[in-house]
A and B are shown apart, each in its own frame.
Chain A
């Protein structure tokens, strides 16, 4: 399946900005089942300086600076992505979650030990007994780890209300757990806090959803903007398995991965520091269109 993705971000400032510095993570990753043969970043006004590097998690990060007075900033990321649906591991065949947890402890580099780097607290995801307690019913002793993940994803989907007014970017995860409401980013952080508090390695994934669903299927939430979900390490055979608690699905086919990291702070699509602006307003539009468009 091929998709053309257009991700348009527009900042409007009150008062003009004289200098601004930005870091964008908008280029889709290449990974098993996903290829990005073409990507471009169009920035207006034109930056005086731009460069691209690969960050600590393997994401493509684009740095740019804008100099001279400007009242708006428009960043348009256009990407062509090919997605192949890979066969998912059979949940029952994955190892017990305690086995996965134990394999992360290790003295040397190994796939499990490397994955283990993602089971600690991070800037936006604290650990705590309350998160472990919430997740515990889905992870009884000996349960295959992917079964546990599916059950937890389903419970978060049922227990939590999707409500954009309930939270802001800065709302702590503990608050999300208390009020049982939030958006995709909150659900992802909550899942991470739960899984990591059990000692399992899990990472935050940012990306897109197919905008218009195929006939007969419902439109997924979060399709008109950047979306977020999580990925859990399920042992060396199954590897990382993505789960989307906002839509109660394992990903595949209609999810396009852009970046991953410990939490949102590692992957925010467009970060910036402006000098001179008063207030600012933000408009984001994402189109994920099947096929290749000129």
Chain B
């Protein structure tokens, strides 16, 4: 048992007599009814559904350690209505109080005048940003949305363990979990009349719209993320989509003439509000020392009242553990009421009296940094430190007492948890959320429960990964709808049209198109090559294999100098299919595809995303070295998946600029692939080169050819089909024609920038097909170069590549 805990942990499901609590009964019945096999299947189903939603995506895991997976425990945490009423009330009070504290400290600082907060607590805290001071506060709120970690103590009371006010995360995960679990456990979900979450997002959107510094007719709000390498990127993308705000990175925004704009393909679009999910040191390089990203001038725009920032940069200060012990007095003084949610015993060591009180009983505490992002070595359980390890910390406390906080070790309550096929009682912390809505702050009836392992103090549980649960508030009635009516009257009408596609997203989609085609070309080429290995050996077969290798080399999938011994052929081909380290193979191409796709996550539908998620699994290296049949099966699966993606693009995406760039990328790359293949063929001697069979195969044009010619492939006929034939969707002519059509659709600014050159270039390419003479090698090379120039022109005109300097 952990030191400091009295008696055993509170059991969420059973009372002191071992009886199931009333609101757990529907779940208890289900838990008993499941066989071990069913339990196992349930866990797997939850895992698969979460994977499909995309949070466990790990393409970056070896890039930056970001994108760590989290697991979903299918058994939810049930909150009885009476508990909920108390907690909801307490959270509403707390978010109002913390907002008030921030607005005061960044404004008149009456809290310091009255001695309600020691000045040193503020001034020594790096999360307090002096440049955010002043009373010119747009939107009237410092804190719009906050998270709060709650633990239930042994006597059954929910207590605050910590606050999340800077960039509070986890709401996206909570919605994902709800999405999955309400389907998996539909019976108990209905029986318990679980409070729905959906209305909360409506309220959040309405609140943000109401706070945004708007022109009355139209309010544009964007969701600002640090970018796709950030650990919480997928949660940002998910939440942005739920809220219906475009997901943008700092480079997508620009400040012009004291106002904030989003860079879109159609020009600059005014932005009235920003949901800031970017750490304060990445907001504005003009104001924050050491910040090289961010949006220069953003703080100035805010200062002049021209944009709402929610939460306000610097609001992370309110989640300083050091602040917690001072809240009860502030609450009494300001609101004339007691703090409704008790908190875990916490002491700031910057005051001599507190220090004297706790220094001789440190063993019952966890040592924390006073500021939200303090010393990365903290938190630490004091009782777990050896005397030698304590020494430097004692010296640090002596020198800089204001940098430290101690918080009592607590033993959280335990709830049933599914581990593989059995059910165990494991400790839980409830991450609850509150919205500082106009009129009345509100709590989310639910949240995210984090599940601990073993006896580790909850302060030390990892924040970004681990096992989570859905939180079910039972029989909460019409909590949200009632509140909703209240706010909607205050909120202005929602904006009519979503803002345009940010330039960066367009560029990413362009490359998604290019890489999708590149993967397909590689897959088809490798498939036809492998087939040569699998049949009966013979002279023709050998000639065809050589031809395939020539094509692989011609398309830069195999380095030119590489000589493959006959015995090592299978191994080399297998590595191109499965080895992530093979520079030019399918895994490397897939990775580039996924990187670009994830950066455009909020533009892709869930079905499309499911395709990308599965793609990674297909090319992952198998346990044993695969044989030819297995490799062929993998390639067949890939071809089908890529076809499914192309189908989704064709059938399910609206024809906006995003789709247009995906299409342009795809067409450009397919034309380049065709030119590579034709150049190889033109390079060979003779009209009936063995190369023509695999070429037709790769271009998926075998059937068409046979239907027309009933003969062995001949170079002139193949060239006709793959180069000139505008009715063949695999021909070079077809790709160029599509490109010309799509370019002609950029009608908004036909003479701006490089547009005239882009159009002329596309038309010049198209003109080549009027001439019926088959190209020679040199011309294929020239056409190839011309296409690359065209790609560069698109890049220069539409995408911003400017290098930025900060001094």
- With contacts A21-B300, A48-B256 known, what are 16 further pairs, Cβ within 8 A? A21-B255, A21-B286, A21-B296, A23-B300, A63-B300, A65-B297, A67-B257, A108-B112, A113-B119, A116-B119, A117-B123, A120-B124, A273-B296, A273-B804, A274-B805, A280-B807
Choose the segment among A145-153, A177-185, A245-253, A264-272 that binds chain B (4+ C-beta atoms closer than 8 Å): A264-272
Least distance between A14 CB and chain B CB atoms (Å) = 11
Task: Give the complex CA separation of A115 and B590 in angstroms.
Answer: 58
A108 touches B257 (CB 8 A): no
Choose the segment among A52-60, A88-96, A229-237, A285-293 that binds chain B (4+ C-beta atoms closer than 8 Å): A52-60
Task: Give the complex CA separation of A105 and B354 in angstroms.
Answer: 14
Interface residues of B in 389-416 (CB under 8 A from A): 399-400, 402
Choose the segment among A31-39, A123-131, A136-144, A157-165 that binds chain B (4+ C-beta atoms closer than 8 Å): A123-131
Say whether B803 faces chain A, with CB atoms less than 8 Å apart.
Answer: yes
Q: Which residues of B contact A107 (CB under 8 A)?
A: 115, 118-119
Can you sample 15 A-B contacts with CB below 8 Å? A21-B296, A48-B256, A49-B258, A67-B257, A105-B120, A108-B119, A109-B109, A109-B113, A120-B124, A266-B130, A271-B286, A273-B286, A274-B805, A277-B805, A282-B807
Q: How large is the interface on A (under 10, 10 to 19, 20 to 34, 35 or more residues)?
A: 35 or more
Binding site for A on B (CB under 8 A): 109, 112-115, 118-120, 122-124, 126, 130-131, 133-134, 254-258, 285-287, 289-290, 296-297, 300, 303-304, 352, 399-400, 402, 802-807
Given A105-B120, A113-B119, A266-B130; A127-B400 close (CB under 8 Å) = yes
Q: Which residues of A contact B133 (CB under 8 A)?
A: 56
The A interface is mostly helix, strand or loop, or mixed, namely mixed
Q: Which residues of A contact B130 (CB under 8 A)?
A: 55-57, 262, 266
Q: Which residues of A contact B352 (CB under 8 A)?
A: 105
Q: Which residues of A contact B126 (CB under 8 A)?
A: 121
B112 touches A123 (CB 8 A): no
B123 touches A22 (CB 8 A): no
Say whether A278 faces chain B, with CB atoms less than 8 Å apart.
Answer: yes
A273 touches B300 (CB 8 A): no
Given A105-B120, A271-B286, A272-B807; A129-B296 close (CB under 8 Å) = no
Closest to B259 in A: A49
Closest to B255 in A: A21
Say whether A239 faces chain B, with CB atoms less than 8 Å apart.
Answer: no
Least distance between A119 CB and chain B CB atoms (Å) = 8
Task: Give the complex CA separation of A57 and B134 in angstroms.
Answer: 11
Binding site for B on A (CB under 8 A): 18-19, 21-23, 48-49, 51, 53, 55-57, 63, 65, 67, 104-109, 113-114, 116-118, 120-121, 123-124, 127, 129, 262, 265-266, 271-278, 280, 282
Q: Which residues of A contact B123 (CB under 8 A)?
A: 116-118, 120
Q: Which residues of B contact A265 (CB under 8 A)?
A: 289-290
A277 touches B803 (CB 8 A): yes
Task: Give the complex CA separation of A113 and B117 in angstroms.
Answer: 13
Task: Give the complex CA separation of A271 and B289 in angstroms.
Answer: 10
Task: Give the complex CA separation of A277 and B287 in angstroms.
Answer: 21
B290 touches A48 (CB 8 A): no
B119 touches A22 (CB 8 A): no
B119 touches A117 (CB 8 A): yes
B115 touches A65 (CB 8 A): no
Task: Give the complex CA separation of A104 and B119 in angstroms.
Answer: 10
Task: Give the complex CA separation of A277 and B806 in angstroms.
Answer: 10
Q: Which of the residues A22, A109, A278 comes within 8 Å of B112, measured between beta carbons?
A: A109
B806 touches A278 (CB 8 A): no
Task: Give the complex CA separation of A275 and B115 in angstroms.
Answer: 46
A21 touches B297 (CB 8 A): yes
Q: Which residues of B contact A21 (CB under 8 A)?
A: 255, 286, 296-297, 300
Closest to A123 in B: B289
- Chain A to chain B: the 5 pairs with minimum beta-carbon distance, closest first: A265-B289, A56-B130, A273-B296, A117-B123, A21-B296
B303 touches A53 (CB 8 A): yes
Q: Which residues of A contact B286 (CB under 8 A)?
A: 21-23, 63, 271-273
Q: Which residues of B contact A262 (CB under 8 A)?
A: 130
Least distance between B470 CB and chain A CB atoms (Å) = 42
A19 touches B289 (CB 8 A): no
Of B130, B290, B807, chain A has the most CB atoms within 10 Å of the CB of: B807
Q: Which residues of A contact B400 (CB under 8 A)?
A: 127
B257 touches A48 (CB 8 A): yes
A63 touches B297 (CB 8 A): yes
Least distance between A279 CB and chain B CB atoms (Å) = 9
A108 touches B114 (CB 8 A): yes
Least distance between B541 CB and chain A CB atoms (Å) = 56
Closest to B110 in A: A109
Closest to A264 in B: B289
Q: Which of the residues A22, A49, A55 comes within 8 Å of B257, measured between beta carbons?
A: A49
Least distance between A263 CB and chain B CB atoms (Å) = 9
Q: Which residues of B contact A116 (CB under 8 A)?
A: 119-120, 123
Task: Give the complex CA separation of A19 and B300 in angstroms.
Answer: 16
Given A113-B119, A124-B289; A273-B113 close (CB under 8 Å) = no
Q: Which residues of B contact A53 (CB under 8 A)?
A: 134, 303
B120 touches A108 (CB 8 A): no
Task: Give the complex CA separation of A105 and B802 in angstroms.
Answer: 49
Q: Which residues of B contact A18 (CB under 8 A)?
A: 802
B124 touches A56 (CB 8 A): no
Least distance between B262 CB and chain A CB atoms (Å) = 15
Task: Give the complex CA separation of A93 and B255 in angstroms.
Answer: 53
Task: Give the complex CA separation of A246 and B254 in angstroms.
Answer: 41
